[in-house]
Structure 1
Amino acid sequence: MKRPFSILAPMLFGFAAALPANAATSGTKEEAVALMGRAVERIQQVGVDQAYKEFSDPKGSFVDRDLYVFCLNMDGVMLTHGSNRALIGLNQKTLKDSDGKTFIAEFLRVASTTGEGWVDYRWANPQTKKIGSKSSFVKKVGNDMCAVGVYLK
């Protein structure tokens, strides 16, 4: 007679083994803050122009799964974007999320008033193409504002 555990064990271990792989496809808030720290260091090392080129490389070291760096000037013009280069040069200040929130204006407000913080909004995940909850860590960096967002579960 087989024991119930011997029947369930392979299923449980198979499920548990799948968890880290799924979790690894999405970045965490801690990883977003760390990526922002690396971005700020890179700007200090090589200057804004070179760093922003690196941030816009979708295969570069500033894009990690669904985490990427993007920066805007304080007027709302996109200066670099790790997921969508087509946005560079466009004024995004009045851009609204799926709920009508002008989240870029909120990024700029947070950067200019507190220097850094989290902003929540709804946005399409570039991996799944589905609208979901996102939170971006925004930081005033020199004359600009940079951010790294996390897609929330």
Structure 2
Amino acid sequence: MLTAPLVHPECLMHRLNGRLHRHTLLTVIPVLLLLLVIALTAGAPARTRGTDAEAGAMLDRAERYLNRNGVGAAPGVFADHEGGFIDRDLYPMLLDRDGVMVAHGWTPSLNGSNLTDLRDADGKPFMREALDGVERQGRADVTYRWLDPLSGQIARKTMHARRLVLNGKPYTLAVGVYR
């Protein structure tokens, strides 16, 4: 008959503690690594969003483009995903003084539509507010709630709009920033 060698109880506890310790580490380390990955990627959505400064820079680029190339070139270029005017959730919009969309970067099917009475998800007449602000002060910053094209959810958005005169005609040039 084979018998197991007699092991002192303290030695047995030491071996069990070592195994438990290793087992615990093998369980805890992957969980900690997963939490680290989650923590690092939690900041990723913020990098998918444009900022107010980036919206301002896009307004400047769009204005320079329009001054060089004219209003007629805007619809195709603004909506071209490779043209430099669509950056994540940022895109330009150009409206005439009557509120008719001349060039929409994200949804070119809106071109030719009068958006003066467009309201947000809460019924706020945000486009009228932007157009009136640009008419009175030359610029407007209007916050409203709109469908975010990246998340598919209703989110707060601020439209930064400014007056632009091209060939003697006033226009509203705008870029919105999701919050």
Normalising by the residue count of structure 2, what TM-score does the alignment of the two structures yield? 0.76
Q: Kindly indicate whether residue 150 of structure 2 is the aligned counterpart of residue 123 of structure 1.
A: no
Partner of 2:48: 25
Given the alignment, which residue of 61, 64, 71 partners 1:48? 71
Q: CA deviation at 1:98?
A: 1.3
Partner of 2:157: 134
Q: CA deviation at 1:20?
A: 4.2
| Structure with the greater alpha carbon radius of gyration | 2
Q: Kindly indicate whether residue 127 of structure 2 is the aligned counterpart of residue 104 of structure 1.
A: yes
Range with bigger deviation, 77-86 or 111-120: 111-120
Range with bigger deviation, 124-133 or 48-57: 48-57
Partner of 2:173: 146
What SS does the corresponding residue of 2:149 show, helix, strand or coil? Answer: coil
1-structure distance, mates of 2:176, 2:58: 10
For residues 35-75 of structure 1, give each alpha carbon's deviation from its aligned partner in whole angstroms, at most 9, with x where no partner exists. Answer: 11111111122222223431122442100111100111110
Gaps of 5+ in 1: none
2-structure distance, mates of 1:86, 1:104: 17
Partner of 2:106: 83
- The amino acid across from 1:120 in the alignment is T
Partner of 2:83: 60
- The amino acid across from 1:62 in the alignment is F
Between the two structures, name the one with larger relative contact order (CA 8 Å, sep ≥ 6).
1
**Count of residues in Structure 1 that have an aligned counterpart in Structure 2:** 151
For residues 62-93 of structure 1, give each alpha carbon's deviation from its aligned partner in whole angstroms, at most 9, with x where no partner exists. Answer: 00111100111110100000111111001010
Q: CA RMSD in A?
A: 2.1
Partner of 1:71: 94
Q: Does the 8 Å CA contact 2:75/2:108 hold for their aligned counterparts?
A: no
Q: CA deviation at 1:141?
A: 1.1
2-structure distance, mates of 1:66, 1:94: 23
Aligned identity (percent) is 37
Q: CA deviation at 1:16?
A: 3.8
Gaps of 5+ in 2: 1-20
